[in-house]
Amino acid sequence: MADAIARKTIPSPGTPPNVKADAQKIFDVLHGGGLALMPTEVGYALIASSKEAIERSFAAKKRSPSHTQGILGTVGLHKKVHVLPEETHEMIRVLHQDLDLSFGVVAPFRKDAPVLQHLSAATLANVTKADGTANMYIGGSSLLLELGRISDEAGELLLGSSANITGSGQKFRLEDMDPEILEAADIIVDYGLQRYHVYKGRASTMIDFANMKTLRVGSSYELIRERMHKFWGIELEADPDYP
């Protein structure tokens, strides 16, 4: 099994990452209906773009088929999908691009957004909620930004969830990965230990930007909370671990 895992892992041992080339390789696998195991700042994730790949991901994670699936996107995609006042869109852009923060945006979505139209009814139900909202993680790693750029140009969605058996917690390096997850992936990207491992296994912070409400206290939450208060006067609940 070790040889099989090694053959589908990039970069090869002793070779530095090449973000543009690696992102293109990931996209090619996803575009072909495959499943990618790749790093994000908040831990490694299983990424899919097709119904079949999502089903394989859920099977490997031992997750219910009806469980919500997250969108991994860019600020540009977020503006096309989420319905929010322009000043809120600008706040999200500043937090992400100017203040270098990564987080999940929960907000009402445009049912007629072109990028959602090719999704099956089952997949659409997995990436949206009954209350008319959708969650999109906007990450700041170079690899995820480049993959997002390629996917946006192609009009395809990146759908993902944490690369672990359901309930077992975030995995921040490949060496800690469950064998079932490694076996399920068609391409594996090993960029080493991910930066937000310092948050004791937290997933991404999730904010309801329509109501300015914290839905999940996660990685970098104390930074997001402080800056939203400092620059926009918004008071979110305190972080119990990083007050």
Q: What is the pLDDT of residues 190-204, one digit of tens each?
A: 999 999 999 988 999
Domain assignment present for 205 = yes
Contacting residues for 225 by C-beta, under 8 A, at least 6 apart: 214, 236, 237, 238, 239
Supply the pLDDT for residue 118: 82
Torsion of CA 182, 186, 191, 195, to 10 degrees: -70
Domain assignment present for 204 = yes
Domain membership of residue 68 as a residue range: 2-232
Residue 176 CB coordination number (10 Å) = 16
Domain assignment present for 241 = no
Domain assignment present for 242 = no
Domain assignment present for 99 = yes
CATH code for the domain of 145: 3.90.870.10
What is the distance between the terminal CA atoms of the chain, rounded to a whole angstrom? 45
Domain assignment present for 145 = yes
Residue of 195 and 65 predicted with greater confidence: 195
In DSSP terms, 216 is beta-bridged to 206
Residue 114 CB coordination number (10 Å) = 10
Q: For the chain, how big is the Rg over CA atoms in Å?
A: 17
Position 124 pLDDT exceeds 90: no
Domain assignment present for 243 = no
Number of structural domains the chain divides into:
1
Model confidence, pTM: 0.93
Domain assignment present for 57 = yes
Supply the pLDDT for residue 93: 98
